[in-house]
């Protein structure tokens, strides 16, 4: 079941148990809130409802672009798998960002969606200039006849799990094993196979050159990665060796994404595939010549196959 609904199409449901947030990554910190949301919805026979925003609010009110752990569609898929019944998407515009905290609760959550109970994290802020808080909700609850449940932050490896922490783990460290622990699943990208210059095939390692479908997705730190590759309309997955970087041995410009797929030798140009990152094998480096590069790639391939097989 796909729980995705746009706010313009929502039918009010007065049994709604609601949580609000961007939920980028739907990570383990979010899971505590979502687990409680599902529990309370089941107990009162209500509808579990996640209210989220697109684009990311910081794209509108912040100074810099935001790299996403998950697209709206990926979030909907994950939430549906968890059992969430509705994911209501509100377009986040400059005008919407000026909505006061109390107006948002009354006009959007109560009148439009039908909220009876709200589940939030203990650091939740909302509304214009993020002036709304747990205190705001508790003050409003009795007047507007809804209840509020506050869930403490999730701590893992001595860190409070957050989307920004996971982005840093992926972009700056390339630590995909730790990112998986934080997320609860393997981080992945969906990409289209584009034309390359064929150098990989010439040295015995044919690669699919990739362009991400969503240009705002987080891309891991440069290096070589063990990955699992899924092709459209195929049930099986393939072990892969992914390179992200500038190809220093060949002194090329620009950042490239390419994947060598084990056990698959066919023209994939124009296809879509999903790459899920298992582990980082090594950093990108410049080799003295093709022979040294090929020797290293053979070692990398063995490590990638072992890593993908050993880590579900």
The CATH number assigned to the domain holding 263 equals 2.40.30.30
pLDDT of residue 4: 94
Question: Does the residue 109 lie in any domain?
Answer: yes
| Tens digits of residue pLDDT in 224-266 | 999 999 998 788 899 999 999 986 655 566 788 999 999 888 8
Q: How many domains does the chain have?
A: 2
Q: pTM of this prediction? A: 0.91
More confident residue, 306 or 248: 306
In this structure, the answer to whether residues 106 and 244 fall within a common structural domain is no
Rounded mean pLDDT, 60-83:
92
Q: How many whole angstroms separate alpha carbon 194 and alpha carbon 213?
A: 11
Query: Which pLDDT does position 151 carry in this prediction?
Result: 93
The answer to whether 33 touches 151, Cβ cutoff 8 Å, is yes
Q: Is residue 208 part of a domain?
A: yes
- What pLDDT sits at residue 30? 94
CA angle 129, 161, 159 (to 5 degrees): 115
The two tokens of residue 219 are: 């891309």
pLDDT at 137: 94
Q: What is the C-alpha separation between 201 and 294, in angstroms, rounded?
A: 12
Residue at 175 is within a domain? no
Q: What is the mean pLDDT of the chain?
A: 91
pLDDT tens column, 127-182: 888 888 889 999 999 899 999 999 988 887 788 899 999 999 999 999 999 999 99
Please check whether residue 143 lies inside any domain of the structure: yes
Are 84 and 114 in contact by the 8 Å Cβ rule? The answer is no
Same domain as 207, residue 69 = no
% of the chain beyond a pLDDT of 70: 95
Token pair, residue 201, equals 């095939």
Q: For residue 34, what are the domain limits?
A: 4-152
CA 169, CA 279: separation in Å to the nearest integer?
12
Residue 51: CATH number of its domain: 3.40.50.620
SS (H, E, C) 102-136: HHHHHHHHHHHHCEEEEEEECCCCECHHHCECHHH
- Residue 221 shares a structural domain with residue 270: yes
**131 and 237 housed in the same domain:** no
DSSP sequence for the chain = ---EEEGGGPPP-TTEEEEES--TT--HHHHHHHHHHHHHHHHHT-EEEEEEEES-HHHHHSSS---BSS-HHHHHHHHHHHT-SEEEEEE--TTGGG--HHHIIIIIIIIII-EEEEEEETT--BSGGG-B-HHHHHHHHHHHT-EEEEEPPPEETTEE--HHHHHHIIIII--HHHHHHHHSS--EEEEEEE----HHHHTT---EEEEESSTTB--PPSEEEEEEEEETT-S-EEEEEEEEE--GGGT--S-EEEEEETT--S--TT-EEEEEEEEEEE-----SSHHHHHHHHHHHHHHHHHHHHH--
Same domain, residue pair 9 and 111: yes
Flag whether 200 is in a domain. Answer: yes
| Encoded tokens for 297 | 């790639």
- Alpha carbon distance 263, 244 (integer Å): 21
For residue 111, tell me if it sits in a domain.
yes
pLDDT at residue 253, as a whole number: 63
pLDDT band at 309, cuts 50/70/90? confident
Q: Are 30 and 23 in contact (CB under 8 A)?
A: yes
Span 179-198, average pLDDT:
91
34 and 135 together in one domain = yes
Residue where a domain terminates, one of 132, 152, 172 = 152
CA 54 to chain centre: 13
- Residue-wise pLDDT tens digits, 8-41: 999 999 999 999 999 999 999 999 999 999 999 9
Shared domain for 132 and 210, answered yes or no, is no
For the chain, give the longest Cα–Cα distance. Answer: 74
- In terms of domains, do 36 and 140 share one? yes
Q: Are residues 304 and 197 in the same domain?
A: yes
CA–CA gap between residue 305 and residue 261 (Å, rounded): 10
Q: Is residue 179 part of a domain?
A: no
* Same-domain pairing of 10 and 123: yes
**Is 167 contained in some domain?**
no
Last residue of a domain, which of 152, 177, 212? 152
Residue 247: per-residue pLDDT = 67
- Pick the more confident residue, 288 or 239: 239
16 and 146 together in one domain:
yes
Same domain, 222 and 306: yes
Last residue of a domain, one of 152, 177, 208: 152
């Amino acid at each position: 079941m796909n729980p995705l609904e746009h706010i313009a199409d929502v039918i009010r449901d007065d049994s709604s148990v609601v949580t609000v947030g961007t939920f980028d990554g739907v990570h383990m910190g979010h899971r505590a809130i979502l687990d409680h949301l599902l529990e309370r919805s089941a107990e009162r026979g209500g509808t579990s409802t996640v209210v989220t925003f697109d684009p990311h609010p910081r794209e509108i009110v912040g100074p810099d672009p935001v790299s996403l752990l998950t697209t709206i569609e990926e979030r909907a898929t994950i939430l549906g798998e968890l059992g969430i019944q509705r994911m209501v998407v509100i377009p986040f515009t400059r005008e919407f960002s000026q909505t006061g905290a109390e107006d948002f609760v009354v006009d959007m959550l109560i009148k439009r969606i039908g909220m009876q109970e709200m589940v939030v994290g203990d650091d939740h802020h909302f509304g214009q200039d993020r002036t709304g808080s747990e205190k705001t909700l508790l003050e409003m609850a009795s007047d507007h006849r809804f209840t509020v449940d506050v869930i403490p932050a999730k701590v893992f490896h001595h860190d409070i799990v957050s989307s920004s922490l996971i982005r840093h783990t992926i972009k700056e460290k390339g630590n995909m094993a730790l990112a998986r622990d934080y997320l609860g699943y393997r981080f992945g990208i969906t990409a289209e196979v584009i034309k390359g210059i064929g150098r990989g095939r010439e040295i015995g390692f044919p690669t699919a050159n990739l362009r991400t479908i969503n240009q705002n997705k987080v891309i891991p730190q440069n290096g070589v990665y063990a990955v699992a590759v899924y092709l459209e309309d195929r049930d099986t997955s393939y072990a892969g060796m992914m390179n992200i970087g500038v190809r220093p041995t060949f002194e090329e410009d620009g950042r490239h994404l390419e994947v060598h797929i084990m056990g698959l030798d066919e023209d994939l140009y124009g296809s879509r595939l999903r790459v899920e990152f298992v582990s980082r094998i090594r950093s990108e480096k410049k080799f003295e010549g093709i022979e040294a590069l090929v020797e290293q790639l053979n070692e990398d391939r063995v490590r990638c196959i072992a890593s993908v097989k050993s880590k579900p």
